[in-house]
Structure 1
Amino acid sequence: MPSPHDAQTVVIGAGPAGLTAALVLARYRHPVVVVDGRQEPRNNASEGVHGHVGLDGASPDYIRSRAWAELSRYATVQRRRADADNIEAVHGGRFRIGLDIGETIESSSVLLATGVVDVHPNHVSGFSACWGRSVIHCPFCLGEENAGGRWAVVTDDARLAALSAVAFRAWSDDTVAICAESMPDINDARTKARGMGGDIVTGAIRRLHHQGGALQAVEFDDGRVLERDTLVWTLPQRQQPVVTRAIEDLKLTADDAGFVTVDATQCTSVAGLFAAGDVAARWRQSFTAAAAAGATAAEAIHAAAILSAVQH
């Protein structure tokens, strides 16, 4: 069992990427400490995870509970219930991770697997109650569970607005886009949408009418009401504070939207520091994609540890 103050690898985050990485490393008998934050998991609003074979429809709580039960069988894995505050580069290419419980851990490698934070439109009444139920961020996740109703996609992308009628036809025959009147190329987009059997509705949403999280209608600032059963609404996202500080303090490279850039092994621009899951992937945020990225990172971390041992 590794000391909580000295580990070969520290995994920060216990979502699908972090837990998968921990399991892969455990199978190699590679000492790893998983820093499991105490805040509510981002996918907690979802009633089930979908699209992952063997776990389709399983609740996030069930998956986490099962994952920790599996990891508990491995003597080289430790769990720390804490939030990581900061990461420092120290002597010998190692890292020091500060936890909010007053502890520090030193390690040879680190995996950032914190996920990201969805920025909710707090000015929209009823949004939180519907989020993860009838307001969904992607059809792949909950489209099947919302199929057959009246859909709308909230977007500022003219191309998606124009394609909304056909893009989501597998789940709904009645789909419109909701956009700001100021969206560039809106007239061309509306013409294309109508030509494919859809439409574009303009306005600023102020309230979602719902019954226990089941959407019934969208209300706009001017009082208009549009009856809808499902909204596809991809929210802005920001990094967790520890990742933001790592980008600044360790000079990690990130894209224009703030997502950490990685190579094919999930390694960041700093040797020994990896990132996997939503923290490094704006448009591939499924459970399966995150788990695959975690496994890739773990394989690279263990291979690097073997190479380092041989060289020394």
Structure 2
Amino acid sequence: MADIKYFEVIIIGGSYAGLSAAMALGRSLRKVLIIDSGLPCNRQTPYSHNFITHDGEKPSEISEKAKAEVLKYQTVSFLKDIAIGAEKVDEGFKIITQSGIEFYAKKIIFATGIKDTMLDIKGFAECWGISVIHCPYCHGYEFRGKVTGILANGARAFHLASMVNNLTDQVTLLTNGKPDFKDEQILKLKQHGIQIIETAITAIEHQDGIIQQVIFADGTSRRFEALYAALPFTQHSNLPVSLGCELTEHGYIKVGPFQETNIDGIYACGDNTNMMRSVALAVSTGGIAGAVINGKLVEENF
């Protein structure tokens, strides 16, 4: 692969979505390069859930198995590197990696994911993905019936509270500042026995990422066994925007029903395109992107 610089498709990001796209393309004998940093966003999460046939497996085991299956297709290559530059050129795109290699392709898939912005709370990052969690579908069953906090405010907090209330009756909202709820929302929360604590949080005490208690700015503390958190995020790669890809109002890459961006020849799939962060959906959108690109190549060459 070291001497090959031209591909039909370059996939930037080699986790679930990127590998799924690569499989669809590899099975159609397309010459594909996957460029991946080896640092998936869920690398700290101990187990993956809500994906049939893989429920309860370690995320790394799923991706390693997927990678091994995809690389059985001889037209697919994998490079551990980081894509740091991209530009439109005649008949396609040029990608430049951190190691200084230039590659060319007719089509590009961005499966680069998103980067969560950790809150400036001691212990938060160490617990993220373990006991400080983001999704009731991905983690909620394992924390059913547990003493649970929701670190969020406003509409996002209310939505999470309604979802988590179905899993445990021990829910507390931690707004980390002045609450931002409508009167009818506050009434609904009270009806379900959901307390609101607005005192600022200074630290999360934990043992190897397992939350023990939350420490507040007034010196008090509260025991929790799980803490949901709604975090801001950024795109993990700035290359899509540098090439002219539009983002949605929420910061995701804007794609059509077949994972196409507004730039001809560029597709995106996985967590960078939608808020439903799950392995199953990433695999699904990757498969769609791979199949659609193969169809486009067929149209162009037949």
CA distance in 1, matches of 2:62, 2:231: 25
* Higher mean C-alpha displacement, 150-159 vs 297-306: 150-159
Aligned to 2:288: 296
- Match for residue 127 of structure 1 among 124, 128, 134: 124
Match of 1:84 in 2: 83
Aligned to 1:237, which of 233, 243, 264? 233
- The SS at the match of 1:293 is helix
**Aligned-partner residue type, residue 252 of structure 1:** C
Indicate the residue corresponding to 2:163 in structure 1.
167
* Runs of at least 5 residues in structure 2 that lack an aligned partner in the other structure: none
Match of 1:306 among 286, 298, 301: 298
CA contact (8 A) 2:179 2:198 kept: no
1:152-200 Cα deviation digits (max 9, x unpaired)? 1111224743872x42133211101111443333665333211122121
Question: How far apart in 1 are the matches of 2:200 and 2:233?
Answer: 20
Output the CA distance in 1 between the equivalents of 2:183 and 2:202.
24
**Letter in structure 1 aligned against 2:217:** D
Deviation, 1:64, is 1.9
Partner in structure 2 of residue 200 of structure 1: 196
Structure 2 residue 25 is matched with structure 1 residue 25: yes
- Partner SS state of residue 79, structure 1: strand
1:53 and 1:3, CA in 2 relative to 1: closer, same or farther beyond 3 A? farther
Shift of 1:2: 9.9
Distance across 1 between alignment mates of 2:86 and 2:145:
47
Report the TM-score, using the length of structure 1 for normalisation.
Answer: 0.91
Residue number in structure 2 paired with 1:109: 107
The equivalences for 1:10-49 within 5 A come to 10-38=10-38, 40-49=39-48
* TM-score, length of structure 2 as denominator length: 0.94
**TM-fit CA distance, 1:3:** 5.7
Confirm or deny: 8 A CA contact 2:151 2:176 kept in the other structure: no
2:143 pairs, out of 146, 158, 172, with 146
State how many pairs are aligned: 302
Paired residue for 2:260, among 267, 274, 293? 267
**One-letter identity of the residue aligned with 2:281:** A
CA distance in 1, matches of 2:156, 2:95: 43
1:277-311 per-position Cα deviation (integer Å, ceiling 9, x unaligned):
11111x2111111111101101110000000002x
Equivalent position of 1:155 in the other structure: 152
Q: How much does 1:67 deviate?
A: 1.5
SS at match of 1:306: helix
Q: Structure 1 or 2: larger helix share?
A: 1
Q: Distance in 1 between matches of 2:196 and 2:211?
A: 19
| Per-residue Cα deviation, 1:231-261 (whole angstroms, up to 9, x for no partner) | 0102111112xx32431x3221111232110
Partner residue of 2:9? 9
Letter of the 1:36 counterpart: D
Structure-2 separation of matches of 1:45 and 1:163: 22
CA shift, 1:224, in A, is: 2.1
> Secondary structure, in 3 states, of the residue corresponding to 1:54?
coil
